[in-house]
Amino acid sequence: DGGRAIAAASAVLEERRLTATEQLLEIRLRLGRAGELVGDLRELVAAHPLRETLRGLLMLALHQSGRQAEALEEYAHARALLAEELGVDPGPRLTELYENILRGGAAELAASGPVP
Per-domain residue ranges of the chain: 2-102
Secondary structure of the chain in HEC code, one letter for each residue: CHHHHHHHHHHHHHHHHHHHHHHHHHHHHHCCCHHHHHHHHHHHHHHCCCCHHHHHHHHHHHHHCCCHHHHHHHHHHHHHHHHHHHCCCCCHHHHHHHHHHHCCCCCCCCCCCCCC
pTM of the model: 0.86
Neighbour tally for 97: CB within 10 Å: 26
Q: Specify whether domain 2-102 bears CATH 1.25.40.10.
A: yes
Other CB atoms closer than 10 Å to residue 51's CB: what's the count?
17
DSSP character at residue 113: -
pLDDT at 1 (0 to 100): 82
> Diameter of the chain by CA atoms?
54
Q: What is the pLDDT of residue 90?
A: 97
Q: Read off the pLDDT band of 104 (50, 70, 90).
A: confident
